[in-house]
Structure 1
Amino acid sequence: MTIGFEIPVFGANTASKAIELGASRIELNASGSYSDGGLTPSLEELKGSSHVRVPLRVMIRPRGPPSEPQARDFIYSDAEFEQMEASIQRFRDTGLLDRARGDGLVFGILKESQDAAEAGTSRRKCWVDKERCNRLVKAARPFKAVFHRAFDEIVSCGDDAGIAIDDRHAWRIGLDDLAACGFDAILTSGGLGNAIQNVAMLDRIITRAEVLGIEIIVGGGVRKHNIQQLSQQLKLKERGSTTYVHSACLSSTVSERVDDNEVIGILSYLK
């Protein structure tokens, strides 16, 4: 089966280069936002990328991680949510997104449980904010809706006290919630950290997602030195549908320039 290769780019200038090197899909983020995990690009950046011949996925994220050490990311104020909703509408209204090409929007919102924090931990459990995500998915239509690595925060909720992987349920609840919201795909590393560290969980997530009809995009530390191991352990080439891997392939987080050798190295195995 086919393994697609999605490259997140930061600004319009690197989109064409990534496609020239062989990317089969692009995730567009604001220039200079790699250190924040990718932020909503400007209209000008979308205009500069809209000519691409591969599917274009546009990040909708109003800010990076909060500065408070124990604060959880992807939990947004009413004003931030309204900003996300307005960004989706603005991008749709440009007419630059192409449904036939497979274009879409990438976003994710969490909420924390109201229960007291687990003993010995400093953070509450988190879940999909279904009400807000439903609204954003509807706002994104007819384009694809992708839930980003906020999902990894949900998966990590099942890690407490050394619970055996088959007894963890947070990821399954989260996956079912996202299916109910209508998401088409999820970008995940199978939990906090890099994908290669979470292969066992990723295998379970992909297997369940195939049943639900959701595409899993494997990201987080995917590089040319580990793509073969990751693909073989997850049996990506044997899956029943197209699977995507996601890697920024940066030569420098400062320049945010795509590294030719990284792209070529990953593609040499995928093909």
Structure 2
Amino acid sequence: MSLTHEICIDSVEGAIAAERAGAQRVELCAALFDGGLTPTLGTVRAALAAVSTIRVHVIIRPRGGDFIFDEHEIAAMEDDVVVAREAGAHGVVIGALTPDGAVDRAVCERLIEAAGDLSITFHRAFDMTADPFAALDTLIDLGVDRVLTSGQDTTALEGAPLIADLIRHAGDRIVIMPGGGITDRNVARVVAETGAREIHFAALAPEPSPAVHRNPYPFMGGELRRPEYERLVTSGADITSVMTAAAR
């Protein structure tokens, strides 16, 4: 069975690495430490200009934390969807919930309308829904193309039983795409146990900063700190490793 591989990236170089490794699609984000936020328009345009065969889907999420958005955030997301569409993105990745853990149908309808004919993925806000089957039925009714989920568990491997049930429930009405903690060590099991035909994973590896002058005292973030002079970059070799393992 042929798999579609979607790579979660946060840079133009990530898109290039994913294309070279033979992946079919990327989810372009900023702030992966926060679970992925809307990237800048400049990054979207640069990524689209840098690749030619891979599809670029842009996450639309204004902040980290929960998925309950106020009117200002909804308006911002609508604008970001339009901007991504006009820039030439192939799809957008959206998600919004009500306080009681249902899909926020009204918000999703607004974002889907703004997207026009772009492909629509509902992101892992799905994993925070109170009733995943009811949420799935809502997304099918809305015409969403795919759902990214870890099966409402820590990783897609641990959530594999629910993912398999969701795939059976969905049939050919919507794609269920496992994501969360997928590596070359577990991808074959995730695919075998779920029957998934698309998978989503990141392939980040640390790389030292090119900075020669380094000041060890100031930090640019909060108390939970990442190293100032180390980067996480998408590794083409790691993408290939997961893709190869998935095909075994």
Category of TM-score, reference length = shorter chain = 0.7 to 0.9
Q: Deviations over 1:62-100 (max 9, x none)?
A: 0011xxxxxxx1111111111000111122233x23xxx
Give 1:183's match in structure 2, choosing from 119, 126, 144. Answer: 144
- The residue number in structure 2 matching 1:143 is 118
5 Å-filtered alignment, 1:157-236, equals 157=130, 170-211=131-172, 213-236=173-196
Q: Is the 8 A contact 1:34 1:256 kept in 2?
A: no
- The residue number in structure 2 matching 1:76 is 69
Question: How many residue pairs are counted as aligned between the two chains?
Answer: 223
Q: In the TM superposition, what is the alpha-carbon distance from 1:270 to its structure 2 partner?
A: 3.2
Q: Which runs of 5+ in 1 are unaligned?
A: 66-72, 98-102, 114-125, 158-169, 237-242
- The residue number in structure 2 matching 1:255 is 231
Once residues 264 and 226 of structure 1 are traced to their aligned partners in structure 2, the CA distance between those partners, rounded to angstroms, is: 14
Q: In the TM superposition, what is the alpha-carbon distance from 1:44 to its structure 2 partner?
A: 0.8
Report the secondary structure of 1:111's partner residue: coil
Q: Is the 8 A contact 1:39 1:63 kept in 2?
A: yes
5 Å-filtered alignment, 1:86-125, equals 86-94=79-87, 96-97=88-89, 103-113=90-100
2:46 is the alignment partner of 1:48? yes
Once residues 230 and 174 of structure 1 are traced to their aligned partners in structure 2, the CA distance between those partners, rounded to angstroms, is: 22
Report the secondary structure of 1:82's partner residue: helix
Q: Is the 8 A contact 2:150 2:179 kept in 1?
A: yes
Report the secondary structure of 1:106's partner residue: strand
- The residue number in structure 1 matching 2:16 is 16
Q: Is the 8 A contact 1:61 1:107 kept in 2?
A: yes
Report the secondary structure of 1:196's partner residue: coil
Q: Is the 8 A contact 1:10 1:256 kept in 2?
A: no
Q: Is the 8 A contact 1:218 1:246 kept in 2?
A: yes
Q: In the TM superposition, what is the alpha-carbon distance from 1:180 to its structure 2 partner?
A: 1.3
Q: Is the 8 A contact 2:150 2:163 kept in 1?
A: yes
Report the secondary structure of 2:78's partner residue: helix
Q: Is the 8 A contact 2:17 2:235 kept in 1?
A: no
Higher relative contact order (CA 8 A, sep 6+): 1
Q: Is the 8 A contact 1:112 1:127 kept in 2?
A: yes
Once residues 55 and 168 of structure 2 are traced to their aligned partners in structure 1, the CA distance between those partners, rounded to angstroms, is: 24
Report the secondary structure of 1:222's partner residue: coil
Once residues 192 and 74 of structure 1 are traced to their aligned partners in structure 2, the CA distance between those partners, rounded to angstroms, is: 17
Once residues 16 and 180 of structure 2 are traced to their aligned partners in structure 1, the CA distance between those partners, rounded to angstroms, is: 22
Q: Deviations over 1:122-160 (max 9, x none)?
A: xxxx10000110111111121111100000001xx3xxx
Report the secondary structure of 1:74's partner residue: coil
Calculate the TM-score normalised by the size of structure 2: 0.85
2:11 is the alignment partner of 1:4? no
Calculate the TM-score normalised by the size of structure 1: 0.78
Once residues 11 and 262 of structure 1 are traced to their aligned partners in structure 2, the CA distance between those partners, rounded to angstroms, is: 16
After superposition, the CA RMSD in angstroms is: 1.5
Q: Which amino acid aligns with 2:238?
A: E
Once residues 235 and 197 of structure 1 are traced to their aligned partners in structure 2, the CA distance between those partners, rounded to angstroms, is: 15
Q: Is the 8 A contact 1:13 1:48 kept in 2?
A: no
Aligned-residue sequence identity (percent) comes to 31
Q: Which runs of 5+ in 2 are unaligned?
A: 207-225
Q: Which amino acid aligns with 1:24?
A: Q
Q: In the TM superposition, what is the alpha-carbon distance from 1:55 to its structure 2 partner?
A: 1.3
Q: Is the 8 A contact 2:85 2:91 kept in 1?
A: no
